[in-house]
Structure 1
Amino acid sequence: MFPQVYLARILGLLALLALSASQVGCSTWFTSHLKDPEVRLVKVEVVKARLLEQRFTLRFRIDNPNDVRLSVRGLIYDIYLNDIPLTEGEFNKHVSVPAHGHETFEIPVRTNLWRHVKGMVKMLEEPDAPIRYRLKGEVKTGMFSRNVQVLRIGEIIPGDYLPE
């Protein structure tokens, strides 16, 4: 058993820790009361396109509808263009999104679209025609990992993102 002095110190430290944690006000630690952030794919930039390997840069935007700064610890994503799987992956860098603000970040990806080349060529025949995209994933927020499911469907114009 612990002597009374050690027990009193431990209880005192626990009380102090509990009091300081309640006074910190860091609402991104406990994110259950926060509104879900909005995640969008805003740009797909072709970096290099070869027959067996394609390199893209994906630019995402996270909007924070809350009154407090939002801590984003990662993103798991699947991206489809006109129902053709473009890429899937995980982004594990920390992004801090200001209250009622937004942040953008880029993810470099490599893929092999060889089995979908016919569909991709068809999509790119008209560079001004929009291409549907589907972003499916999960955003990790807060210090204690609250995961927010993401499903976003939108359009991009391929002529805006072809390499120069």
Structure 2
Amino acid sequence: MSLLFSACASQGPAIESPVVEISSIELLELNLRRQTFRLHFDVANPNPFPLPVKSVQYTVFLESRQFASGETGSRFTVPARGESTFDISVDLDLMSTAASFASLLRSGTSRPIPYQVNGSVAVGIPFTPPLRFTQDGTILVR
């Protein structure tokens, strides 16, 4: 019986992980107590069928330092071999992050900043584990 299940599982289509990139980072608020950023993400689906995304777990590094992590609660569908977007807001405590990101805020609009985003995408396809992703790139802070 288990041989039958493993044979059926190997016959099913392999699901490729989506490509998740940061398209922009926007500084929304900067005051003495906190910084608020909006991160815009692009998601590309390499599969020949739509990906119904239930959530995205992510960790973002800027200049090799952890900038943000969490999980989205919004659901969306990425079309077959197509693209979609999602946004998240990030609140940082200025007192605890001032030293780490002061140079980032000063130079982020004048030079590209290296980033890495990694995590997993939970999809609404039965028996499919979360799809892992990792992407490196550069971005300007607006």
How high is the TM-score relative to the length of structure 1?
Answer: 0.70
Map 1:12-161 → 2, pairs under 5 A:
33-126=14-107, 127-144=109-126, 145-158=128-141, 161=142
Kindly provide the CA deviation profile for residues 24-53 of structure 1, in whole angstroms up to 9, marking residues without a partner as x.
xxxxxxx86222111111111111012321
State how many pairs are aligned: 129
2:130 alignment partner, SS class: strand
| Contact residue 20 and residue 133 of structure 2 kept, 8 A | yes
**Could you tell me which amino acid in structure 2 is paired with residue 89 of structure 1?**
G
Residues 51 and 32 of structure 1: CA distance in aligned 2, closer, same or farther (over 3 Å): farther
Structure richer in strand, relative to its length: 2
CA distance in structure 1 between the aligned counterparts of 2:115 and 2:33, rounded to whole angstroms: 22
- Segments of structure 2 that go 5 or more residues without pairing to the other structure are 1-11
**Could you tell me which amino acid in structure 2 is paired with residue 35 of structure 1?**
E
Residues 74 and 138 of structure 1: CA distance in aligned 2, closer, same or farther (over 3 Å): same
CA distance in structure 1 between the aligned counterparts of 2:140 and 2:45, rounded to whole angstroms: 26
**Could you tell me which amino acid in structure 2 is paired with residue 50 of structure 1?**
N
Kindly provide the CA deviation profile for residues 85-123 of structure 1, in whole angstroms up to 9, marking residues without a partner as x.
221111022110111110011112212243332342223
Structure with more contact order per residue of length (Cα contacts < 8 Å, sep ≥ 6): 2
In our comparison, the structure showing a higher alpha carbon Rg is: 1
CA RMSD of aligned residues (A): 1.8
1:117 alignment partner, SS class: helix
| Contact residue 44 and residue 58 of structure 1 kept, 8 A | yes
| Contact residue 86 and residue 113 of structure 1 kept, 8 A | no
| Contact residue 35 and residue 66 of structure 1 kept, 8 A | yes
Match of 1:22 in 2: none
